[in-house]
Amino acid sequence: MNINNHPCFNPKACKDFGRVHLPVAPACNIQCNFCNRKFDCVNESRPGVSSSILSPDQAMAYLAEVVAAKGNISVVGIAGPGDPFANPVQTMETLRKVRQAYPDMLLCVASNGLNIGPYLDELAEICVSHVSITVNAVDPVIGEKIYSWVRDNKKTMGPELGARLLLRRQMSAIRGLVERGIMVKVNTIVLPGINETHVADIAREMSLLGVDLFNCMPYFPNEGANLSHLSEPSAKLMKKLRKAAREFIPQMTHCKRCRADAVGLLDDPLNTHLMDRLKHHANAPLPFPGKEKTFSASPGGGMAASSKPTGDPPKKSPRTYVAVATREGVLVNQHLGEARTLNIYDISHDAPMMVEKRRMPKPGTRDFRWFGTAEVLKDCHTLLVSGIGQNPKEILTQEGLTVLE
Ligand code: SF4
Ligand code: SF4
């Protein structure tokens, strides 16, 4: 493993070495006002976009194809499309499996830093060598304008408390990474009128923490995001900000604002064949409960998968009920956004038994409504609806529900 072969951290490596992002992390634990995550937009090239989501096993099967098709992959990264540590189980399982199957592969993660702290020791143990943390402000008063909510351990905070907590966690995560000898890059999204006069302050603070590389990324206007009215910073402004930041810390200037499912050299165009293969693997069946897949590197650098019984019976879920959005109590015919109540059923008997009609949180409280819904349904494993928005679906899935439309 040669840590200099990372095309993002070393511009000299970017002509010869490629990276692949495994999109195993759909949920996010914060809401940046500039971000609107879409899963299926092949025309967009920016973080937060992925054409599919993979389970860790699906990701391993996809990775084997990528490694065989591209002879130059030196880095496997996890960069969303949400935050890797809002999905720590999938992220850590994927990283462990990649390390086991590809001992020489560089491992990389990109995170907002809120929840990476508990995983630092294990990241170091499995030799994750490169981590990027996105820090958009070191002054929480500026941070308040950038984040609309932050969710920590099932508690959701608004911008004021959220920006403070996020900043504390980011500082401590960066310290922890540096202490463990992991290379750290800090990304800062330049938001005109919000943080552009603050970029040099961020660079100074990051250099004091021992960060290796600083990446000023121009904001990319995203339709539907709270800050969609902002325009992209000019090339002249970016040049000026990078020059000021360079006083404190080396700059990355070859960033391509990669998608969460990017693959190949940084300059490669979108690879439609591999994108189709990604979709194919995303639709592949998951292993049966009670069996786990193991992967081992084959002599050609690829991977062989086998299923073996774990011996342990499947664990019984503490969630026992199914919630149904229904107008008249017979058909699944209501969109979650319209439902004021949900019918709760116990399906552990021969015939489903109605337990109760449960009142839902009031509309109009944005994402708090969906976190409230997750709380109300904490004893349900499945939610049946005739329709549901992308955002509530992500939040409820992140909170442990299977949502079926
Ligand atoms: S684009 Fe970001 S996450 Fe992906 S390999 Fe480069 S630094 Fe890591
Ligand atoms: S942390 Fe990343 S995925 Fe989450 S809201 Fe911010 S930009 Fe989007």
CATH for the stretch 321-404 = 3.30.420.130
Cβ proximity of 161 and 151 under 8 Å: no
Residue of 163 and 41 predicted with greater confidence: 163
pLDDT at 47: 56
- In the chain, list all ranges with CATH 3.20.20.70: 3-282
Q: Which residues pair with 129 in a beta bridge?
A: none
State which of 4-13, 88-97, 349-358 shows the largest mean pLDDT: 88-97
Please state, rounded to an integer, the average pLDDT across all residues of the chain.
Answer: 85
Model confidence band, residue 200 (pLDDT cutoffs 50, 70, 90): very high
pLDDT digits (tens, 9 = 90+) for 103-142: 999 999 999 999 999 999 999 999 999 999 999 999 999 9
Assigned superfamily of 3-282: Aldolase class I (3.20.20.70)
Termini Cα distance of the chain: 45
Strands of 30-32's sheet in order across: 30-32, 147-152, 155-157
pLDDT at 201: 96
Which whole number is the average pLDDT over 213-226? 88
C-alpha of residue 336 to centroid of ligand 1, in Å:
36
Q: Is residue 84 pLDDT above 80, yes or no?
A: yes
| Residue reference for tokens 């463990």 | 180
Model confidence band, residue 217 (pLDDT cutoffs 50, 70, 90): very high
Residue from 8, 123, 131 whose mutation best tests the ligand 1 pocket (most atoms within 8 A of CB): 8
Q: Is residue 336 pLDDT above 70, yes or no?
A: yes
Residue of 7 and 167 predicted with greater confidence: 167
Residue of 174 and 290 predicted with greater confidence: 174
Model confidence band, residue 46 (pLDDT cutoffs 50, 70, 90): low
Q: Is residue 41 pLDDT above 60, yes or no?
A: no
pLDDT at 38: 54
- In the chain, list all ranges with CATH 3.30.420.130: 321-404
State which of 110-114, 299-303, 382-386 shows the largest mean pLDDT: 110-114
Residue percentage of the chain with pLDDT more than 90: 51
Which whole number is the average pLDDT over 338-346? 91
Q: Whose CA is nearest to atom 4 of ligand 1?
A: 77
b vs e for 79-117, b when ≥16 Cβ sit within 10 Å of the residue's Cβ?
A: bbbbbbbbbbebbbbbbebbbebbeebbbbbbbbbbbbe
Measured in degrees and rounded to the nearest 5, phi and psi for residue 12 equal -70, -20
State which of 47-56, 202-211, 280-289, 293-302 shows the largest mean pLDDT: 202-211
CA distances from 320 to 332, 345, 377, 401 (A): 19, 9, 10, 11
Side-chain-side CA neighbours of residue 89 (13 Å) = 5
Q: Is 55 helix (H, G, I), strand (E, B) or coil?
A: coil
Cβ proximity of 230 and 193 under 8 Å: yes
Residue from 21, 72, 112, 123 whose mutation best tests the ligand 1 pocket (most atoms within 8 A of CB): 21
Q: Report cis status (omega within 30 of 0) of the bond before 81.
A: yes
C-alpha of residue 109 to centroid of ligand 1, in Å:
7
Side-chain-side CA neighbours of residue 30 (13 Å) = 32
Any atom of ligand 2 within 6 Å of the Cβ of 151: no
